[in-house]
Amino acid sequence: MQKLAFLLIVGASFFMSCKKTVFLTPTRDITDTVKVNTDYVYNFMVNSAEDEVEMITAPLHADTSEFFSDSTELYPYSYFYSTEFNYTGEDYIEFNIKRQSSADNFDLPKEERVRITLIIE
């Protein structure tokens, strides 16, 4: 009986010492409607010099899909999407964003995943 109690105490202390903090990246799901043969722009609210944006899933029905910087904006790093000629339906793009700059002004997380679903009509 004492051996069982000892094993339970040792086992419990082992599991309590292995406690890890797990950080789950917040995910922002965005759904927008785009007219056929038009463009879509999404501003990441990041500064391209200090922050990172990585495309995880590329769109399947884009004529143009690219990152660009607009120096007239406070946070100039954006994404440009142009629909495939006469395509109607849905397209999907996914990004990982890591902010090192002063994004706290906008209550944005330091790291997040953005999933954009475009409904093209």
At 56 the pLDDT is 94
What sign does the CA torsion over 96, 98, 104, 109 have?
positive
For the segment 32-51, the average pLDDT, to the nearest whole number, is 87
Domains of the chain listed by start with CATH number? 25-120 (2.60.40)
Contact residues for 98 (Cβ-Cβ < 8 A; gap 6+): 51, 52, 53, 110, 111
For the chain, give the number of residues: 121
pLDDT classification of 63: cutoffs 50, 70, 90: very high
Structural element, H or E, at residue 12: helix 2-17
Question: CB–CB of 81/38 below 8 Å?
Answer: no
**pTM of structure:** 0.73
Which SS3 state, helix, strand or coil, does residue 48 take?
coil
Contact residues for 34 (Cβ-Cβ < 8 A; gap 6+): 40, 81, 83, 118, 119, 120, 121
For the segment 101-121, the average pLDDT, to the nearest whole number, is 81
pLDDT per position as a tens digit, 6-24: 555 655 555 555 555 455 6
For the segment 54-72, the average pLDDT, to the nearest whole number, is 92
Question: CB–CB of 36/87 below 8 Å?
Answer: yes
pLDDT per position as a tens digit, 91-104: 999 999 988 866 55
